[in-house]
Each structure stands twice: as structure tokens, then as C-alpha cells.
Amino acid sequence: MKKLLLSSAVALASMSGAAFAAGHGVSACLITKTDTNPFFVKMREGAEAKAAELGITLNSYAGKVDGDHETQVAAIETCIANGAKGILLTASDTSSIVPAVQQARDAGILVIALDTPLEPIDAADMTFATDNFLAGELIGQWARAALGDDAANARIATLDLAVSQPTVDVLRNQGFLQGFGIDLADPNVIGDETDPRIVGSDVTQGNEEGGRRAMENLLAKDPTINVVHTINEPAAAGAYEALKAIGRENDVLIVSVDGGCPGIQNVKDGVIGATSQQYPLLMASKGIEAIAAWAADGTKPSATDGKDFFDTGVALVTDKPVDGVESIDTTEGTNLCWG
């Protein structure tokens, strides 16, 4: 993990030199899905700290709830009008936001997608993100190995993000299913698999209340569910509460993605079996450096070798390691967590 983070830093070293020279008079925007999810709170902290270090004026915007596309479009329009040099964006609707993003790029603004790739991915100048498919695949592999022979008879529920199926939602879902050993139909679509082990999916809006509601809905469909994939750890916490209400909190395996401090604590406490940890502060701070470099001399960030985005790393966190799936424990996960 340390090597991965170090390589990320080295990959942007040439850009960082220009970044530090950008200086005053440069403004940037950070637009997140919400301003309450700890993931986006940490992202804002990373962007603010790096902007202050480089003398960049940062304006932050967020949707009212996860999925609030209209507020994000209005924020992009404000950033264009204010003459921002760059925009860091976690899009709620990864395809519908593209025309607004194109307007910003046409105005000479560098647009970097954070965490969530746009559709198509090259609609932004670059994406700084976790390999979300790999994040899902790791927890799928872990869950299959943890169940052993019982994986063949699993009853799986997936608690996803939104009806619009943004890219981060699809990547984590499909990665999990592939990691668990389920044949994917269209890897760009959630819910078209035919494996009888899948009970169904529901959306959570990425929060605890949504996770509880989605879990209740799926338990009503099949009370024998024993494996739950959640889009993030707040949704996992909600799913756990729904299971606890019917006395099944100890016999259902929950896996998730994020790696926030509350989520790592839930892994330690046995609420979540394993989670894939990502690094939002690094995404945002490197994004601000990229904007500074763009403002200084027109340098654009480059993708990680072999990928079409800049990979900011992922690590599986669990206190129950399995053979064949590399992981770190909750002590190390706590040292790297956020929120």
C-alpha cells in the first residue's frame, strides 16, 4: 500500500513542480455529491489544505443529496462565470453532466473527475480515482473465500447507489460480482445477471437510512439473504441495523467500499466483514496540484500506466484474512482512514 501511494506521488512529481509556482490569482472549484458524507468531507479537507499551501482560492459546492444533478450543473455554471482555472468534480449523474463539463472545458477550464469517472471517461481532462472495479472485486473475492463451499449456495443482495447507475456504482457492483465468481452479462449495467444466487438489488443514496430501507425491502423479498454488498459504509451500517432488527446481524456477511474511520471501526467490531479502502484526500490534493500546474504552464495530468485514469490506490481491510486475497488489518486501516 505504501509503495502504491508513493508511486502515485512520484507519477505527479513533474506536475507538482509547476503547481508550486502557480501562486496567487488562481481560483479552483470543488463540486461533490454531498457535503455530509465523510468521504466528501475528507476530500474537501484535502483540497482546502493543498489550495492554501499553493495560494489558490478554492470555492466548494455540493448537491443537497446524493443524486442532486441540477445543483451540480448550477455549480459548474457559477465556476465558469467566476473564471475558475480548474474544477474538481464528483458527478452524481455521470452522463447527464457531460454537456456542462464540455462548456467548462470550452472556456479553458481544466476539469478533473474525482472518484467517479464520467461517461465517457474522456469527457473530463483526467480522472483521479480508486480503481473501483478492483475495489469491488477484492471484497467479492474475500467474501467467496470466507464462505468457502457455502459460496455455491449464497443468497446475495446488492445495495447500490442510485437508479441512474453512475459509473462508481456500476464498477463496484460488477467488480464484487465478478470477484464472487458470478458471470457478468453487460458489465456496464447493474441487475442483468441471471445467476440464481442473486436475490436482487436496491438503491440506498449512499446513506444509512437508505441502506436500512433497501435491506428491509430485499429481506421482504427473501429473508434467507446471507451475503450483502453495499456501495459504501454508511449504507452498510444501515443494512446492519435492518438485519439486527430481525435478529440476523450475526449470520449475514456484509462487505463494502470506502475505508472511512467509522467503517474501519465497523470492520473491527464485526459489523462489516471486509471493506476496500480508498484515499479521497489524496485524490483532491493531487487534483489541486494538477489545476495549479495547468494554470502555470498548461500542463495536463497523465494517467497511470496501463489505465485510462490516475489510480490513487485501494487496499482490502479485514481482521479475517483469507488465502489468495491480499489485505491489511484494521490497525493499519485505522492509520490510513479518514472521517
Q: 73 vs 28, 96, 169, CA distance in Å?
A: 16, 9, 20
Under 8 Å between Cβ of 90 and 113: yes
Nearest alpha-carbon partner for 143 in 254, 35, 235:
254
Position 290: which residue type? A
Residue-level pLDDT at 5:
41
Under 8 Å between Cβ of 267 and 319: yes
Residue-level pLDDT at 19:
40
Q: How far is CA 204 from the centre of its chain?
A: 14
C-alpha–C-alpha distance, residues 157 and 142, integer Å: 16
pLDDT in tens, 262-303: 999 999 999 999 999 999 999 999 999 999 999 999 999 999
C-alpha–C-alpha distance, residues 144 and 180, integer Å: 5
Cell numbers that stand for 227 in this block? 451475503
pLDDT in tens, 192-201: 999 999 999 9
Residue-level pLDDT at 24:
61
Cell numbers that stand for 126 in this block? 483526467
Which SS3 state, helix, strand or coil, does residue 221 take? helix
Cell numbers that stand for 49 in this block? 489544505
- Counting as low any pLDDT under 70, the low residues of the chain are 1-24, 339
Cell numbers that stand for 25 in this block? 490569482
Under 8 Å between Cβ of 291 and 85: yes
Nearest alpha-carbon partner for 297 in 80, 10, 14:
14
